Amino acid sequence: MNQQNFPVQVAPLESCREPGPEERSMLRKVLDRVGQYCQSRSLFVLHYCTGCGAIELPPSMTSRFDLERVGMQPMVTPRQADILLITGYLSVKTLKRVILTYEQMQSPKYVMGFGSCTINGGMYWNSYATVKRLGDYIPVDTYIAGCMPRPEAIQQGFLDLIERIDGGRAVAWKDYYRNYDRYLGHQQHLFGRDWLTPTDVVGEAAHYRLAGDGTLGPHTALLDQYAGYHQAWGVPREQYAELEASS
Amino acid sequence: MDFDWQHMLIELLVMPTLAFVVGLVMVLMARRLRARIERRVGPPFWQPLWDILKLYSKRTQVSHGHMHEISIIVLLGGMIAMEVFLPVPGFDTFAHHGDALTLIYLMMVPTLGMALGVSACANPNGSIGIARALTAMLAYDVPFIITVAGAAMLYGTTSLPEIIAIQQQQGLEGWGAVQMPLLALAALISMQAMLGKEPFEIYVAPAEIATGPMTEMSGKFLGSMFIMQCFQLYTVSVLYTTLFLGGGENWATFLIKIFVVVAIPMTLTNIFPRYKTEAVVAWLWKWPTAIALVGLFVVMMR
Amino acid sequence: MTQQVPEQLHAVFREIPGIRVQHDSERRVRVTLRADTLPALLELLKGRGGYLHLSAISCVEWPESDEFELVYHLWSYESKMMVSAHIRIPRDPGRFISVYDIHSPAGFFERDIHEMYGVFFDGAPDMGKFILTEWDGPPPMRKDFSTLGYVNDTYEWQPYQPEWLQQAEQKGARVLPQEGPDGPLRKTR
Amino acid sequence: MIPSLDLLLALAFGNLGLMLLAGRNPTAGLLSMILYALQGWVLVMLMPALAEGAASGLAFQVFGWSLSWELNGLGWFFAIITVGAAFFSAWFAAGAWGVQGTRSPWAFHVTLAANVAAMLLLLASRDLLTLFIGWELVTWAGYAMMIQSGGPATRAAYKYLIYGVAGGLAVLAAVVLIQVQAGGLGFAAVAAWMPGISTGMLWALMLLLGVGFGIKMAFLPFHRWQAEAYGESPGPAAAFLGAISSRMGLFGLLILLVHFIGLARLDELLLPLIGLDARILWMWLSALTIIIPTFIALKQNDARMLLAWHGIGQGGYMLLGVLVGSELGVAGGLLHVFNYATYQAVLFLVMGAVVYRTGTAHLDRLGGLITRMPLSYVAMLFAIIGLAGLPPMNGFVSKWMVYKALLDEGLPLLFVAAVIGTLGTILSVFKLIHNVFLGQLRVEHEQIREVPFSMWGPMIALSLIVFITGYMPGLALDLVMVAQTSLGFAALDYHLGGFVTDTGNLNMLAVVSVLLLGMGIGAGIFLLGGNKSKRVHQLDNYAGGHFLTTEVRYHYSHHFYAGLLRLIGPWYITLIKRLEGGIAALTDTLAAGSDGLYRTAYTPILMLAATVLGLALVL
């Protein structure tokens, strides 16, 4: 089982960083502006009900509130979606799937947290099974108050997000690449040292030159070490011990 | 058949952009119709264009290998080539180089290209979607081919510009729909399936196979699939208008005709649920095929 | 009208040595018995009393007497009367016999109780992880496990110190519950 | 060395002898390739002479019977395809495949040379006796080639032999009948004698010769043997057999239906009850031959069986095209022989390469090989587009001609039947390329590499031919015109790109160049318009939030087209399979009965009774 076809190759980060928006040529600036304008006008919401607030979405999409007026459509797979809604509490089990889904989404992508459960644990603050601060695990753009917020509040939240995208201020997704080590640290703290998602975030950061100084660190080193065992061709978890002992 | 390159290049650029713009407006009409039926306001005018531009401006995209990218190029190329061969008022020099049969087979090239790309994504949702799309094609192509055979028998030729000329000579009662109403009806039903509209829309099926072929498409790949949808709406409606509604004398009547032709499946799609795969095949091989055969018999008797 | 306990129920209860029957509410009979006679009771109830439906097994932890109390809720469609059988088992071995062969739904109830309380049922079809697939810690429902302690160790709190809160604290108002059940609520890191 | 038939036959038999002697050493493949190339060169040199109808020939007397050979246009056309297919098969077997791919390369090279020699003899025959001799030689050479890989192949080859011998006997009966009635066996004499005979005799002859030739061509009622026989034979052998071997039957049928009887006479031959004339009967038989095997191919689970079933299906197009009678139809039918040979050979060679690397051709045990065998994938892609008959490739041109001819002659229902066959082909070729090359790669196939040049070389060369003759069909049509004129039809007026007819024309130069330019524009939009994309691993895939690992195989290939097969599954009534089984059972019981009878004690009495009865009859 050789290494090279395994998803996580920690590619060497080129030294050159991505040119800032002001240094790009005139044509590029125009294209960026058009892209930004269209990104704010056409948002695809991921059809993924993570918590109790998802029931508020059908009324906001259908005839009463009709979010298609601002160009929003529900989409089925993370590959096609731009917005991931975390509607309420997140159990540790669901968080694993949410992180996988978030990493499968293509940036620029946005996360919206509903209610106080995503801020400080909400009414499940002292439960052993729920996650307290969503911001530790994936970067969040907007929080909407309310347990659970009504469609009017959701609509207001979306309009605020659209206005920030149009202004170019909704860049939380870049933070995931720039400070991936911090996010990975929190994730490993919860799920154990051998936590691994199929998406190669470090590789993507290198490929699209979105890497910052916080991308690599002790946790991504752990990722690299455990990558050897949990290869895509499947070394089951139980055999880690003797592999570690032997190596 | 002279081959003046300069004329070809103009047509090669003008007709696809024309098709794309008309296709965009058709997609907008589809979404607005759906909104009206659901008592909603519906998207703003430029929404389909914004969707495509947003998808093309995505910063990161996922590709599953060279075949995935080449298939999208074949998809776009096949569609662009098909637009050039459609007889449109004013530009139909190229329509003389190929005829109805060529066009039907040219329509299958982008579908096969997309099918290969989607399978290269190695996602079973996509493979199931493509298997269903090809099954649906087998189902709706039987009545459609019978109508094409009937049209060829009636007009005596399969060259599209000549078919238009024949129909336009005799004015309104020269139209295909008037001459062979049964075949026109059968073609309308198979067009509903060709566009993948609701009762026969089994290959996107978001509830069952996570949008089938579009499962692993992100960014510009999905944008190209949206462009393909625009081209497909335009192509099928122009083909139907050419065969049965006398083609376009001038652009005004031509646009009205193709928009009316496309409006019919779009309204029907919002009323029907989705059939099972074998139900689609069984239904399409029963009623539209029977209507088409009777229509063909009538044409042959004349 | 208070429905009398049907005669065949009494016949069954008389069979069990050391059983205590309480008929305190209209359609509920509360029965307390020795742990080892429980399977016999279930068999008899199922055979004679028509008690085919084991709707739940619940577990109560009594730290003072260091015991687990297992309650078997049984229902009969004929007599339309609920029997809840209460037994006590010692906490430290925390083992009891599984009643899976009498009532198959017990397999799930026992697996859940094993995950939440750590009670091991001999002969149960599957004692593996049930709902908490990601949980490696001790059984979380036991009283000696402090959820607040775990939460404080594992997670960090949102720093939330707006001015109005600081002024209120200076004026001595207790805004946040300072004393958790096991010591002061630790300030955010 | 003036190019002539004698030189051609000498080269063919020389190659056979050489392979017999030097078949074992590694350069045997190269030698046979050179000899096939020489034969091809001789044939090309013969082309101008044949265009005007002149043809070199040889004849000699044996025990009073005159055997005469003469290469005319039709025979020449089939000979070109035969030698071409042999050249590419030999090239495939010359390299690594000969060393590891097969148990004995000697057997392969000898049988290939024998097949080519036998086929040349058959194609150059000028009278029925030589035709029969060539026919038997082809049957036996085919048998020898099929039993190479042993195991199930021997059983399939044995079944082929039974069909082949039955066909041969039918042809022999017809030859004897003609010899008794007409006196002479030369093609010209027979063609002259044919118009005079009664319809009853004509029906008898057509039945006998039709059955004999139909068996070799796997025509509908006699198609049971071909799928297993071609599927089980090794890679390059299957490529050669699939490409041209069953077209010998078509050669015979063309001589019978067009040269001897003539299409006009076929029109008057009315079937007694249903008033259908013989030509329409033959056309509907070929239309059914298109549809039924294609939909049987759809259900196959082994890639080689799928391809072999398609071989039977595509044969129907060729005969359907010729029987239409118009120049366009005949040219379409004959061009389909050439086109089909090119892409069917590629498909069998690619499956040979896949079997060489993975050891299996079963569609449920493959998948995702595009990342490991890209060149084989490209070759198969070109070939399946050709087999499905889609524009850029040559398959589309010949199918278009057949459809156009059917529509011009006013036969819409036959046109619909042919198109249904094409739709079935599109579905099954996609299943083939999807299950073999696309989808998730298996763990055990993770280490395999592309096949060496000696194997992907012929594949890519043939697929380029498929594309070029699709782009410029005029090139292939030059060959077809030689055959068409020799069959007695008027030549079709065509230009390099296609045809101009008053009822609709086809210009492949325009169609394909616009397609390529469109793809250029599409590439511009796609590559320049969007941002850079990143290649991801096959397990980084959407699975509804599930973490993919190799324990769970995340791939759909088993029971492909499940929805369609739920509907048409019960329609496969295997009528002919049971018919064949019935006949086999009948012969078994008869054999057992006579064996039992013969073994009982009083055999001498039975012998006496039999001789007495015989004498009574004779005297």
pLDDT per position as a tens digit, B172-197: 888 888 889 999 999 999 999 999 88
Contacts with D517 from chain B: Cβ below 8 Å: 12, 81
3-state helix, strand, coil in chain A (%, to 5): 50, 10, 40
Contacts with D539 from chain A: Cβ below 8 Å: 7, 198, 232
Directed axis angle between helix B220-244 and helix B66-84, to 10°?
A: 30
Among the partner-chain residues B59, B105, B128, the one whose CB lies closest to the CB of D556 is B128
Give yes or no: residues D463 and D588 share one domain: no
- Structural domain boundaries, residue D471: 327-523+555-572
pLDDT digits (tens, 9 = 90+) for D23-51: 788 888 888 899 999 999 888 888 887 76
Q: What is the pLDDT of residue A10?
A: 46
Alpha-carbon separation of residue D618 from D609, D614, D615 (angstroms): 14, 6, 5
Per-residue pLDDT at A18 exceeds 70: no
Among the partner-chain residues A42, A76, A208, the one whose CB lies closest to the CB of B54 is A42
pLDDT digits (tens, 9 = 90+) for D358-386: 989 999 999 889 999 999 999 999 999 99
Q: What is the DSSP letter of D452?
A: P
Residues listed for chain B: 302
Cβ pair A62:B43 closer than 8 A: no
* Residue C133: pLDDT band with limits 50, 70, 90: confident
Q: What is the DSSP letter of D450?
A: P
Contact by Cβ (8 Å): D352, D236: yes
Q: Quick check: B30 contacting D, CB < 8 Å?
A: no
Domain A19-172 falls in which CATH fold?
Rossmann fold (3.40.50)
Q: What is the pLDDT of residue A22?
A: 66
Within 490-529 of D, beta carbons closer than 8 Å to B belong to 495, 497, 500, 502-507, 509-511, 514-523, 525-527, 529
Whether D153 maps to a domain, the answer reads no
Q: Quick check: A6 contacting D, CB < 8 Å?
A: yes
Contact by Cβ (8 Å): C35, C45: no
Closest chain D CA to residue A32:
D531
Contact by Cβ (8 Å): C71, C117: no
Strand A43-46 versus strand A72-75 pairing type: parallel
Helices (H), D52-123: 73-94, 96, 105-123
Range with top average pLDDT, D202-211, D332-341, D475-484: D332-341
Contacts with B78 from chain D: Cβ below 8 Å: 515, 518-519
Closest chain D CA to residue A8:
D537
Cβ pair A63:B39 closer than 8 A: yes
Distance CA B253, CA C83 (A): 81
Chain A: closest CA distance from residue D555 (Å)? 15
Cβ pair B211:A68 closer than 8 A: no
Give yes or no: residues D560 and D609 share one domain: no
Give yes or no: residues D474 and D593 share one domain: no
Within 173-192 of B, beta carbons closer than 8 Å to D belong to none
Cβ pair A233:D542 closer than 8 A: no
Cβ pair C147:A132 closer than 8 A: no
Write down the mean pLDDT value for chain A: 84
Q: Which of A80, A165, A85 is nearest to B55 (CA)?
A: A80
Superfamily per CATH, domain C7-144: NADH:ubiquinone oxidoreductase Nqo5 subunit (3.30.460.80)
Among the partner-chain residues A7, A78, A234, the one whose CB lies closest to the CB of D542 is A78
- Structural domain boundaries, residue B177: 5-301
Contacts with A208 from chain B: Cβ below 8 Å: 59-60
Range with top average pLDDT, A144-153, B286-295, C132-141: B286-295
Q: Which of D134, D160, D132, D133 is nearest to D146 (CA)?
A: D160
Q: Quick check: B86 contacting D, CB < 8 Å?
A: no
Give yes or no: residues D510 and D589 share one domain: no
Contacts with D441 from chain B: Cβ below 8 Å: 122
Closest chain D CA to residue B96:
D505
Chain C: closest CA distance from residue A126 (Å)? 5
Contacts with B56 from chain D: Cβ below 8 Å: 529-530
Q: What is the pLDDT of residue A233?
A: 44
Closest chain D CA to residue A231:
D549
Contacts with B144 from chain D: Cβ below 8 Å: none
Chains A, D: CB contacts within 8 A come to 47
Residue with tokens 């095929």: B289
ipTM over 0.90 threshold: no
Closest chain A CA to residue C152:
A126
Contact by Cβ (8 Å): D322, D77: no
Q: Quick check: A31 contacting D, CB < 8 Å?
A: no
Per-residue pLDDT at A220 exceeds 90: no
Chain D: closest CA distance from residue B115 (Å)? 8
Cβ pair D507:B108 closer than 8 A: no
* Residue C80: pLDDT band with limits 50, 70, 90: confident
Q: What is the pLDDT of residue C1?
A: 42
Among the partner-chain residues D381, D427, D507, the one whose CB lies closest to the CB of B97 is D507
Cβ pair D537:A104 closer than 8 A: no
Q: What is the DSSP letter of A2?
A: -
pTM of the model: 0.89
Give yes or no: residues D516 and D606 share one domain: no
Q: What is the pLDDT of residue A239?
A: 60
Query: Which residues belong to CATH 3.40.50.12280 in chain A?
Result: 19-172
Directed axis angle between helix D28-51 and helix D5-22, to 10°?
A: 170
Structure tokens at D300: 């196959």
* Average pLDDT rounded to a whole number, residues C106-116: 94
Question: What subunits touch chain C, counting only 3 or more CB pairs under 8 A?
Answer: A
Whether D473 maps to a domain, the answer reads yes
Secondary element (H or E) of residue C73? strand C67-75
Backbone angles phi, psi at D543, to 5 degrees: -140, 40
Closest chain D CA to residue A96:
D545
Distance CA B155, CA B175 (A): 11
Q: What is the pLDDT of residue A243?
A: 57
Across D405-525, the runs of DSSP E, i.e. the strands, are 494-495, 498-499, 506-507
Q: What is the pLDDT of residue A161?
A: 94
Among the partner-chain residues A104, A208, A233, the one whose CB lies closest to the CB of D542 is A104
Give yes or no: residues D360 and D472 share one domain: yes
Strand D534-535 versus strand B62-63 pairing type: parallel
Determine the residue type at B264. Answer: I
First CA to last CA across chain A, in angstroms?
16
Distance CA B157, CA D504 (A): 6
How many distinct structural domains can be found in chain B?
1
Chain A: closest CA distance from residue D415 (Å)? 42
What is the gyration radius of the CA atoms in chain C, in angstroms?
23
Among the partner-chain residues C132, C135, C158, the one whose CB lies closest to the CB of A119 is C158
Least confident of B88-102, D467-481, D500-514: B88-102
pLDDT digits (tens, 9 = 90+) for D497-546: 888 887 778 888 889 988 999 999 999 999 988 888 898 888 889 998 88
Cβ pair A107:B58 closer than 8 A: yes
Per-residue pLDDT at C179 exceeds 60: no
Give yes or no: residues D587 and D491 share one domain: no
Among the partner-chain residues D390, D504, D544, the one whose CB lies closest to the CB of B105 is D390
Q: Which of D79, D81, D21 is nearest to D50 (CA)?
A: D79
Contacts with A77 from chain D: Cβ below 8 Å: 542
Contact by Cβ (8 Å): B216, B118: yes
Cβ pair A39:B57 closer than 8 A: yes
pLDDT digits (tens, 9 = 90+) for D199-232: 888 888 888 988 999 998 888 888 888 888 888 8
Q: Do chains C and D have 3 or more beta-carbon pairs under 8 angstroms?
A: no
Name the residue with higher pLDDT: C177 or D395.
D395
Per-residue pLDDT at A14 exceeds 60: no
Structure tokens at D338: 């050439």
Write down the mean pLDDT value for chain B: 90
Chain B: closest CA distance from residue D565 (Å)? 8
Write down the mean pLDDT value for chain D: 88
- List, edge to edge, every strand of the sheet that includes D506-507: D494-495, D498-499, D506-507
Question: What subunits touch chain D, counting only 3 or more CB pairs under 8 A?
Answer: A, B
Q: What is the pLDDT of residue D594?
A: 81
Question: Please, what sign has the CA dihedral across residues D142, D144, D149, D155?
Answer: positive
> Quick one: CA torsion of D588, D589, D591, D592, rounded to 10 degrees?
110
Give yes or no: residues D563 and D587 share one domain: no
Residue D582: count other Cβ atoms within 10 Å of its Cβ: 10
Structure tokens at A239: 């055999």
Contact by Cβ (8 Å): A190, C154: yes
Per-residue pLDDT at A50 exceeds 90: no
Cβ pair C158:A120 closer than 8 A: yes
* Average pLDDT rounded to a whole number, residues D176-180: 86
Cβ pair A233:D548 closer than 8 A: no
Per-residue pLDDT at D53 exceeds 80: no
Whether D368 maps to a domain, the answer reads yes
Distance CA D263, CA D253 (A): 12
Distance CA D583, CA D220 (A): 17
Per-residue pLDDT at D108 exceeds 80: yes
Query: Which residues belong to CATH 3.30.460.80 in chain C?
Result: 7-144
How many distinct structural domains can be found in chain D?
2
Contacts with B121 from chain D: Cβ below 8 Å: 541
Q: What is the pLDDT of residue B1?
A: 46
* Residue A4: pLDDT band with limits 50, 70, 90: very low
Cβ pair D526:B128 closer than 8 A: no
Range with top average pLDDT, B32-46, D486-500, D589-603: B32-46
Chains A, C: CB contacts within 8 A come to 40
Q: What is the pLDDT of residue C166?
A: 82
* Residue B241: pLDDT band with limits 50, 70, 90: very high
Among the partner-chain residues B35, B61, B214, the one whose CB lies closest to the CB of A106 is B61
